């Protein structure tokens, strides 16, 4: 803090008192009894991680390819082992859990069961989780139930006992209220109408709505002239945007898998890593992100996304990590930031009690110097 005394001394000069701090600063200036008080507050540019959501992309190859199931267990156990150090508070899938074979569903159930009682999770169905010719199009409800994990009580199913269409009301430790939708593969008009009826409810107007879907955004090549990402929505994505996401101003994020690598410039490929930001009819920015590692060796090489919600109340740092390889991918297609609606004003906060105490000290020092 810097104190500037406006009362002149014998030489007509101003008295300046410095109280140093090692933190990056923003300032608040207050005039008090002829003294300019310059308060410093911690700059939110140096934000730290408040909490983390882990996104697990298409997992079918961990159970469809012989010998890869241990990699899936390693991923789930890493989440449990890291939940305290990284403040992991939610895990989300992106569909294609299996190739809809009974043995694969049993293995996936057991692997995801590692999280039961540890971290809440939301599962999503993909096209490989369905068999249109079967009596039961998907076996997910035979193996995944909300009651498996007591922490999944935040989730409400559209039809009780059928987990493929649901919404979850979740408030993590930073206080951001979240409304997360998990919708079935190629969602019907009936399902989209239901999702809209939830999204528009007044009690969710101050929530950050998130869509978890299997197919939405497709990775595009990189523009050779501008370097811009040329990702675009799939046919399912167009429907989801027009009928749901683009129509509700509380939507800010869409996460999906499904799409395969489009031979972009990512040296870590084959890895699907597209993203774009769009503006809804109410002027809200929606960040749309596709990630899929199924073309990697070993079922997917264990790659997952960490969505790190920073304590500045708006920044989300997106990172890519494999616990099976212990590798972080740090190029700009795999590590980047997005901005959500701020949880609080970006204005400099009011001086704290300790700052006001320092102000009193400055005032006392100035008066003593004046005499």
DSSP readout, 348-371? PPPP-HHHHHHHHHHHHHHHHHH-
Q: How far apart are CA 140 and CA 163, in angstroms?
A: 8
> CATH for 47-339?
3.60.21.10
Q: Which of 56, 132, 131 is nearest to 97 (CA)?
A: 56
Contact by Cβ (8 Å): 271, 305: no
Strands 304-310 and 315-322: antiparallel
Contact by Cβ (8 Å): 318, 338: yes
Residue-level pLDDT at 34: 45
Q: In this model, does residue 249 exceed pLDDT 50?
A: yes
Contact by Cβ (8 Å): 280, 304: no
Residue-level pLDDT at 2: 43
Which percentage of the chain shows pLDDT scores above 90? Answer: 66
Q: In this model, does residue 223 exceed pLDDT 80?
A: no
Q: How far apart are CA 279 and CA 246, in angstroms?
A: 7
Q: How far apart are CA 155 and CA 161, in angstroms?
A: 12
Q: In this model, does residue 350 exceed pLDDT 90?
A: no
pLDDT band at 340; cut points 50, 70, 90: very high
Structure letter (DSSP) for residue 314:
S
Average pLDDT over residues 109-133: 93
Residue-level pLDDT at 19: 39
* Spans of all domains in the chain: 2-43+348-370, 47-339
* Beta partners for residue 289, in sequence order: 255, 275
Q: How far apart are CA 42 and CA 22, in angstroms?
A: 10
Number of Cβ atoms within 10 Å of the Cβ of 326: 9
Q: Which of 119, 110, 31 is nearest to 69 (CA)?
A: 110
The token pair at 337 is 């930031």
Q: In this model, does residue 143 exceed pLDDT 80?
A: yes
Evaluate if pTM is beyond 0.75: yes
Structure letter (DSSP) for residue 21:
-
Tell me the pLDDT of the chain averaged across its residues.
Answer: 84
Residues 6+ apart with CB under 8 A from 34: 5, 6, 7
Residues 6+ apart with CB under 8 A from 13: none
Residue-level pLDDT at 262: 74
| Of residues 260 and 278, more confidently modeled | 278
SS3 per residue for 270-284: CCECCEEEEECCCCC
Number of Cβ atoms within 10 Å of the Cβ of 238: 13
Q: How far apart are CA 121 and CA 119, in angstroms?
A: 6
| Of residues 217 and 344, more confidently modeled | 217
Q: How far apart are CA 206 and CA 247, in angstroms?
A: 15
pLDDT band at 64; cut points 50, 70, 90: confident
Contact by Cβ (8 Å): 207, 250: yes
Distances (CA, A) of 42 to 38, 84, 140, 267, 359: 13, 25, 48, 38, 17
pLDDT digits (tens, 9 = 90+) for 165-218: 999 999 999 999 999 999 999 999 999 999 999 999 999 999 999 999 999 998
Contact by Cβ (8 Å): 277, 226: no
Residue-level pLDDT at 351: 55
Stated length of the chain: 371
């Amino acid at each position: 803090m810097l104190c500037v005394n406006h009362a002149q001394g014998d030489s007509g000069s101003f008295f300046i008192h410095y109280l140093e701090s090692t933190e990056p600063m923003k300032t608040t200036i207050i005039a008090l009894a002829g003294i300019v008080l310059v308060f410093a507050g911690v700059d939110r540019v140096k934000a730290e991680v408040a909490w983390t959501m882990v996104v697990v992309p298409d997992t079918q190859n961990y159970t469809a390819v012989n010998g890869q199931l241990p990699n899936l267990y390693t991923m789930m156990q890493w989440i449990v082992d890291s939940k305290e150090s990284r403040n992991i508070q939610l895990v989300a899938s992106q569909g294609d859990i299996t190739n809809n074979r009974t043995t694969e569903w049993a293995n996936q159930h057991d692997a995801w069961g590692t999280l039961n009682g540890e971290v809440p999770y939301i599962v999503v169905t993909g096209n490989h989780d369905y068999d249109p010719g079967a009596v039961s199009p998907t076996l997910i409800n035979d193996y995944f139930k909300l009651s498996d994990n007591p922490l999944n009580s935040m989730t409400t199913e559209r039809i009780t006992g059928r987990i493929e269409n649901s919404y979850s009301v979740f408030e993590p430790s930073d206080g951001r209220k979240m409304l997360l939708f998990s919708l079935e593969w190629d969602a019907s008009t009936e399902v989209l109408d239901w999702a809209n009826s939830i999204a528009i409810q007044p009690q969710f107007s101050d929530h950050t709505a998130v869509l978890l879907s299997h197919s939405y955004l497709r990775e595009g090549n990189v523009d050779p002239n501008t370097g811009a990402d040329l990702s675009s929505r799939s046919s399912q994505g167009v429907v989801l945007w027009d009928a749901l996401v683009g129509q509700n101003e509380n939507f800010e994020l869409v996460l999906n898998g499904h799409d395969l690598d489009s031979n972009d410039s990512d040296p870590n490929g084959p890895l699907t890593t597209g993203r774009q930001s769009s503006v809804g009819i109410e002027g809200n920015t929606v960040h749309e992100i596709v990630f899929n590692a199924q073309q990697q060796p070993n079922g997917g090489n264990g790659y997952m996304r960490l969505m790190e919600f920073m304590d500045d109340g708006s920044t989300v740092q997106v990172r890519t990590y494999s616990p099976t390889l212990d590798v972080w991918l740090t190029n700009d297609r795999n590590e980047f930031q997005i901005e959500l609606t701020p949880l609080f004003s970006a204005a400099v906060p009011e001086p704290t009690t300790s700052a006001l105490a320092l102000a009193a000290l400055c005032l006392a020092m100035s008066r003593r110097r004046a005499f």
